[in-house]
Amino acid sequence: MDNLIQTIAVYALPVIFAITLHEAAHGYVARYFGDMTAFVAGRVTLNPLKHIDPIGTIAVPLAILAVSKLAGGPALLFGWAKPVPVAFGNLRHPKRDMIWVAAAGPGTNLLQAILWAIFYSALHAMDVGEEFFYNVAVAGVQVNLVLMALNLLPIPPLDGGRIAVGLLPTRLAIQWAKIEPYGMFILIALMLTNTLGFFLSPFLRFGSAIVSLFAS
């Protein structure tokens, strides 16, 4: 139990930052490109309470974390926040601007991973002896890289699916967008068949390579 509590303490701050800035970034970029939906709904904010989903952000991650730790395995996290509402039709150039709105979330997570890695290096440079802070920094890198990679999967309604719809020719984009009602079922199937890691690995390697340029 103590080990579980320690793990929660280590991951709590990185997870809150990761989901809050991810969702807020969608709202900020959507507003920049002309859609005020998220702003009117009060979601263009850094207040985490506006983005936390009681089930997806708290209950499900805690349950998965508890089961993984009680089973003696590594800490596992999976969850979601309240999606920021975006009316893509309100964007000045919907098909093009959709790409930037969708990419803002994973991009913010990559930036956070870099900042957590720099924080780790700064702790080392200052010869800080408290292991907890190093663990939080490592968790910050891990959480943000995984969240970035997961959201870059080209499966609607994930951000990568939105990006794919924006990049594909119109006819193919329309067909690809029709996958959205089944997107979460596809994601769950990948998890249950233990193939999700295979599809995440290219994005994780990319993110790790970028992070390594800024800190060891």
39-71 pLDDT, tens per residue?
898 888 888 888 878 887 777 777 776 776 666
Give CA angle at 74 (71, 80), nearest 5°.
100
CA distance 152 to 161: 7
Residue 1 has pLDDT above 60, yes or no: no
Distances (CA, A) of 101 to 42, 107, 160, 168, 180: 17, 10, 11, 16, 17
Distances (CA, A) of 17 to 136, 163, 196: 12, 23, 24
How many angstroms separate the first and last alpha carbons of the chain?
32
pTM above 0.85, yes or no: yes
119-161 pLDDT, tens per residue?
999 999 999 988 999 999 999 999 999 999 999 999 999 999 9
Which positions are annotated as active-site residues?
23
Note down the domain range covering 160.
Answer: 2-83+92-212
Residue showing tokens 């890198």 = 141
CA distance 142 to 137: 9
% of the chain with per-residue pLDDT over 90: 61
Residue 134: predicted pLDDT? 95
Count of all residues that appear for the chain in the document: 216
Residue 105: predicted pLDDT? 95
Cβ-contact 96, 166 below 8 angstroms: yes
How many domains is the chain partitioned into structurally? 1
Average pLDDT of span 69-80 = 63
The 3-state secondary structure of the chain, one letter per residue: CHHHHHHHHHHHHHHHHHHHHHHHHHHHHHHHCCCCHHHHCCCCCCCHHHCCCHHHHHHHHHHHHHHHHHCCCCCCCCCCCCCCCCCHHHCCCHHHHHHHHHHHHHHHHHHHHHHHHHHHHHHHHCCCCCHHHHHHHHHHHHHHHHHHHHHHCCCCCCHHHHHHHHHCCHHHHHHHHCCHHHHHHHHHHHHHCCCHHHHHHHHHHHHHHHHHCCCC
Residue 99 has pLDDT above 70, yes or no: yes
